[in-house]
Amino acid sequence: MNKITTPKGIAGNLFLARPDTKFGTKGFYKVGITLNAAEVGQMVEACNEEATRAFGPKNVAKVKMPFEVNAHGTVTFKFGSRSRPNLYDSTATLLEPGVIDALRIGYGSTIRVKGETATYERFGGGVLLLMHEVQIIDLVESGGFAPDVGGSFVAEG
């Protein structure tokens, strides 16, 4: 396993405060982080090293990787965990569970992720990124709207 700390990037596919339970009741915490392609060389190398170690140098090209190269010069890495990661604010203060439960972390938030590489053998094998900690640097809140004082529709009850 290789330890990984990402540079600052843009968050997507967020399940940090509550797990994604689409494929099971226990759920899975996950986040995608999109980074500039020029900043990801060490992370890609760590994934390749893990694949070589687990599957051999001849099989690295066949192994599924936890990142996707995007057309516009960025790379999106996918991190996941069965347990809720530690979340920190921009001053590196650990957030309390009550604060985390109230957060509405939205797409476009600027984050940094700490974790490590691992492998799996099912479905042809691959490398995955285990998420341990996430620092929320700039929060973009998700969901809801601000009141529109000029609007005429008000729901009853």
Domain boundaries, the chain: 3-138
Paired tokens of 134: 């996430």
Residue 35: its pLDDT value, please?
96
- pLDDT of 147 > 80? The answer is no
3-138 maps to which CATH number? 2.40.50.140
Q: Which of 29-33, 135-139, 152-156 has the lowest mean pLDDT?
A: 152-156
Burial class (CB in 10 A: 0-12, 13-18, 19+), 12: middle
The confidence band for 66, taking pLDDT boundaries of 50, 70 and 90, is very high
Amino acid at 76: T
Task: Give the sign of the dihedral formed by CA 121, CA 7, CA 84, CA 27.
Answer: negative
> What predicted TM-score, i.e. pTM, was given to this entire model?
0.86
- pLDDT of 62 > 90? The answer is no
The confidence band for 153, taking pLDDT boundaries of 50, 70 and 90, is confident
Mean pLDDT computed over every residue of the chain: 90
4 and 45 in contact (C-beta within 8 Å)?
no
Residue 83: its pLDDT value, please?
93
The confidence band for 106, taking pLDDT boundaries of 50, 70 and 90, is confident
- pLDDT of 10 > 90? The answer is yes
Backbone angles phi, psi at 120, to 5 degrees: -140, 155
